[in-house]
Structure 1
Amino acid sequence: MSHHLRTGLTSVPELDDVQFGRWQNLLEERTGMCLPLQRRSFLQTSLGLRMQEIGCQNYQEYYDRVTDGPSGAIEWNTLVDRLTVQETRFFRDPDAYAFVDQFVQQQAAEMGPDDTLECWSVGCSSGEEAYSLAMVADRYLTPQSKRFAITGTDISTIVLRKARAGRFQPRALDWVPQDYLARAFKNSGINEIEISDHLRKRCCFSQVNILNLNAFPLDSQHIIYCQNVLIYFRRWRRREILNVLAERLAPGGILVIGLGEMVDFSHPLLEPVRSSQVSAFVRKKTNSTGETARR
């Protein structure tokens, strides 16, 4: 018997066990994301509504479409945008940003006039995380005429377009500390605020599949911020991702992840930060011979 789930004014067909397994495997194979059984209704709704938009009658027909040739690759990118957009906001984890704040203050005191503080927001979504990092860097570095650069990466092209535009609903300001409001934003129209030009110029955004981090030419980062990303992957893949990120840190740089995302992770290049509020690591500095310096 055919069942349908009603969603608003539309209905989508039921995703049976076989089709759920096929789509689950395809998503993990191509993006690394592991979709648990509890997210079955989310997958069903996302697939079903997209099928209605393009006139597919069932999940098998749509599966064949997204796995067939160049046109399938285009449709797959559209679907991934639907499936991977995550909730985000400015300064989402105050404790983590307080840790970043302290680190940036220290860097500001140690940087030379020709140095640039490099920051990477992994899984940046619509840009709030990257711009939050930019606000912190701007606060301490710009008054000293020191430079910073923020790179945001995500698999979704839709959220990256939003990030590059730097425009947000006024309610987004509810999460921004008062000290940043005047300098970081400007009014851009009715019911819309915009990131200030001097911050947006310091931020760039690029599409990157986290499974292909090895091919992404970014290294010597002073801050790598990767929160609420690892939870969507299996533990062995989380470890692989963190191993790559560890290699991309500059000596003395910090890697910040979400609390509980990888509690038992260790790496020979990294020292864990001892804190109950923040899950972070510092890359060990090296001595003049290239060996890891002892503390």
Structure 2
Amino acid sequence: MSELHNSPLSADSTWFLRRLPAMDEAQFKQWQALLEQRTGMTLPAERRSFLETKLAIRMREIGCSSYQAYYETTVVGPNAIREWSTLVDRLTVQETRFFRDPDAFRLVADYVLTRPREQLRKHALEAWSVGCSSGEEPYTLAMVLNECMNQLALQPLYGVTGSDISAPVLEKARTGQFNARKLSGVEANLKTRYFRPAERNTEEIVDSIRERVCFTRLNVLDLDRAPMHGMNIIFCQNLLIYFRRWRRRDIVRRLAERLAPGGLLVLGQGELTDWQPPGLQRVPSEHVLAWIKRQTDEE
């Protein structure tokens, strides 16, 4: 390291310190099209600077000096698949926390507590967190379900699956370790029951909850190939906002197909407007956007 600081930069490496030229309209549209084609996500014009910044950081890391050259690296280069995976992780918004939407989780609790007790005793509850990021949402679902089972004096017969397009955030989720800021929405009694101190001033999910949660990589454009079926609860918040309206509807239709009859689908407020998904009945709520799958689908 000291040798690097004491010697002048070579002519080939001085570009590393230069500011990259602004992305022109054609280049931006090219990247927009690639992102939408591969992930379904749309990137509006006002987020061009966000894209430029993220691309520039990665380009400097691998020694790529132009947007076009990097585009070709992610599309046809020898390591295109690996590079695309890295880039998607950089471009995916991963800010989340426990109990991010308290009203939605209260609705989930009410839903479970009003199920026939004999049904809960005989059949495991299956929940799915779509676009789970670093795991706060599926772990929250597991805590809510566990609290419900305790309240009903039933054995904890349930499981939660978290899915996301980003492999690195899924690896982080599997560790079950979080900094204190992510726990700001967790009530003290729940924090005591479900977390324990871990390394580097983090908190760790207790084993009884971690063993109920699994994670899998999944692009929501590939829902037709998702192995999840007969889910009792599907939680999909703060994901649909990145997609065009027609694609949001398509995603919700496919999620509804994965619900068991009587299952609950929870979305984020404002993510789907002026449309009634076929086969679903809206849950009357001012604060949560949710539907119940009818016992007999009405297409």
- Using structure 1 for the length normalisation, give the TM-score: 0.91
Q: Is the counterpart of residue 236 in structure 1 residue 277 in structure 2?
A: no
In structure 2, relative to structure 1, the CA distance for the partners of 1:84 and 1:174 (3 Å cut) is same
Q: Deviation string for 1:194-247 (max 9, x for gaps)?
A: 011110100000000010010011111111000000000000000000000111
Residue of structure 1 in register with 2:167 after alignment: 157
Residue of structure 2 in register with 1:263 after alignment: 273
Structure 1: 5+ residue stretches without partners:
1-8
In structure 2, relative to structure 1, the CA distance for the partners of 1:11 and 1:101 (3 Å cut) is farther
Q: Is the counterpart of residue 66 in structure 1 residue 111 in structure 2?
A: no
- Alignment-mate amino acid for residue 14 of structure 1: A
Structure in which a larger fraction of residues adopt strand: 1
Q: Distance in 1 between matches of 2:121 and 2:243?
A: 40
Decide which moves more: 109-118 or 66-75.
109-118
SS in 2 for 1:120: strand
Q: Distance in 2 between matches of 1:200 and 1:221?
A: 19
Deviation at 1:189, TM superposition (A): 2.2
Decide which moves more: 129-138 or 68-77.
68-77
User: Please, what is the CA RMSD of the aligned residues?
Assistant: 1.6
Q: Deviation string for 1:63-118 (max 9, x for gaps)?
A: 01000155101100000000013211111111111111111212373424331000
Residue of structure 2 in register with 1:79 after alignment: 87
SS in 2 for 1:21: helix
Q: Is the counterpart of residue 14 in structure 1 residue 22 in structure 2?
A: yes
Q: Is the Cα–Cα contact under 8 Å of residues 253 and 278 in structure 2 kept in the other structure?
A: no
Q: Is the counterpart of residue 170 in structure 1 residue 180 in structure 2?
A: yes
Q: Is the Cα–Cα contact under 8 Å of residues 257 and 279 in structure 1 kept in the other structure?
A: yes
Q: Distance in 2 between matches of 1:150 and 1:113?
A: 17
Q: Is the counterpart of residue 199 in structure 1 residue 196 in structure 2?
A: no
Residue of structure 2 in register with 1:57 after alignment: 65
Q: Distance in 2 between matches of 1:247 and 1:199?
A: 27
Residue of structure 1 in register with 2:43 after alignment: 35
Q: Deviation string for 1:163-220 (max 9, x for gaps)?
A: 1111000222211123311111111123111011110100000000010010011111
Match of residue 191, structure 2, among 164, 177, 181: 181
Paired positions, count: 280
Matches within 5 A, 1:203-242: 203-242=213-252
SS in 1 for 2:83: helix
- Alignment-mate amino acid for residue 26 of structure 2: V
Q: Distance in 2 between matches of 1:264 and 1:70?
A: 45
Residue of structure 2 in register with 1:26 after alignment: 34
**What percentage of residue pairs aligned between the two structures are identical?**
51
Q: Is the Cα–Cα contact under 8 Å of residues 31 and 211 in structure 1 kept in the other structure?
A: yes
In structure 2, relative to structure 1, the CA distance for the partners of 1:126 and 1:112 (3 Å cut) is closer
Matches within 5 A, 1:75-154: 75-107=83-115, 109-142=117-150, 143-154=153-164
Q: Deviation string for 1:21-61 (max 9, x for gaps)?
A: 10010000000000001111110000010000000000000
Residue of structure 1 in register with 2:6 after alignment: none
Structure 2: 5+ residue stretches without partners:
1-16
Determine which structure has more spread, i.e. the larger CA radius of gyration.
2
Q: Distance in 2 between matches of 1:265 and 1:56?
A: 45
- Alignment-mate amino acid for residue 201 of structure 2: N
In structure 2, relative to structure 1, the CA distance for the partners of 1:183 and 1:61 (3 Å cut) is same
- Alignment-mate amino acid for residue 254 of structure 1: L
